[in-house]
């Protein structure tokens, strides 16, 4: 991953001007509930803080029509991650963890909101290595209709997606097979 990364196109969302709770939200077009048949939701996206223009917190998450919900907070200026709880759009952070972060670096962020009340934020580097996580328990809000990008300025968000939680996600080991084929291109695949 490099500094010019824009997933599937040539643009990423840029949060500028005015601090929290200013920013943007997008209607999801339907209600997503943490109390679904899969046991929860996962919001994931790429985050890159590009400047320290004011307000250190990159805040992205899910809310309902009244501004109630949960989010992930990345603070590359002061090296912290936190869980965001929104009440009528006002955010309050919980479960602060220290994590060495850098400006102008893309991080994959996952926000897991489960039906048992647990909320977990995970941060990965550009090679999908887990850097750290933080958790909080709150079951006040269950249904979400909007995704938000709030907080300080200036930062980029890309490849944002919302999906259902899967307890044991499938894993693939393509790299091992690829190396084998690459090292042994003339082998008999039926009888290696």
Find the radius of gyration of the CA atoms of the chain: 19
**Predicted pLDDT at 183:** 41
Confirm if 117 and 34 have CB atoms less than 8 A apart: no
Q: Which residue shows structure tokens 């990364």?
A: 5
Q: Give DSSP secondary structure letters for 52-78.
A: EEEEEEEEEEEE-TTS-EEEEEEETTT
Q: What are phi and psi of 139, to 5 degrees?
A: -120, 20
Q: What is the pLDDT of residue 118?
A: 98
Please report which helix (H) or strand (E) contains residue 125, including its range. Answer: none
What is the reported pLDDT for 114?
98
From first CA to last CA, the distance across the chain in angstroms is: 34
User: Cα–chain-centroid distance for residue 90?
Assistant: 20
List the chain domain ranges. 13-183
Report the CATH superfamily, name and number, of domain 13-183: Exo-inulinase; domain 1 (2.60.120.560)
Residue bearing tokens 């998450």: 61
Beta bridge partners of 32: 144
What are the start-end ranges of the E strands in the chain? Answer: 13-15, 24-33, 40-63, 69-75, 80-87, 90-98, 107-114, 118-124, 130-137, 143-164
CA dist., res. 154 & res. 98, Å (int): 21
Closest CA to 72 of 101, 34, 41, 111: 111
Comparing C-alpha atoms, which of 145, 139, 140, 168 is closest to residue 38?
Answer: 168
Residue-wise DSSP of 9-24: SS--EEE-SS-TT-SE
Per-residue confidence in pLDDT tens, the chain, 192 aa? 334 556 556 778 888 887 887 888 999 999 999 999 999 999 999 999 998 878 899 999 999 999 999 999 999 999 999 999 999 999 999 999 999 999 999 999 999 999 999 999 999 998 999 999 999 999 999 999 999 999 988 999 999 999 999 887 776 555 554 444 444 344 444 444
Give the whole-angstrom CA distance, residue 177 versus residue 186.
14
143 forms beta bridges with 33
């Amino acid at each position: 991953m490099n500094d010019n990364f824009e997933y599937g196109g040539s643009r990423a969302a840029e949060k500028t001007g005015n601090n929290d709770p200013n920013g943007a939200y997008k209607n999801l077009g339907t209600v997503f509930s943490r109390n679904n048949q899969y046991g929860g939701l996962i919001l994931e996206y790429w985050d890159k803080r590009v400047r320290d223009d004011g307000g250190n917190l990159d805040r992205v998450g899910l809310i309902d029509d009244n501004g109630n919900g949960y989010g992930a907070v990345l603070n590359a200026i002061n090296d912290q991650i936190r869980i965001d709880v929104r009440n009528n759009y006002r955010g309050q952070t919980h479960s602060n963890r220290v994590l060495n972060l850098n400006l102008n670096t893309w991080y994959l962020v996952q926000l897991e909101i489960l039906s048992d009340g647990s909320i977990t934020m995970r941060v990965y580097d550009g090679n999908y290595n887990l850097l750290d996580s933080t958790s909080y328990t709150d079951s006040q809000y269950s249904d979400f209709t909007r995704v938000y990008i709030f907080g300080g300025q200036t930062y980029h968000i890309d490849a944002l997606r919302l999906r259902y939680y899967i307890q044991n996600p499938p894993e693939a080991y393509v790299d091992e097979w690829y190396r084998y084929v690459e090292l042994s291109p003339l082998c008999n695949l039926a009888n290696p």
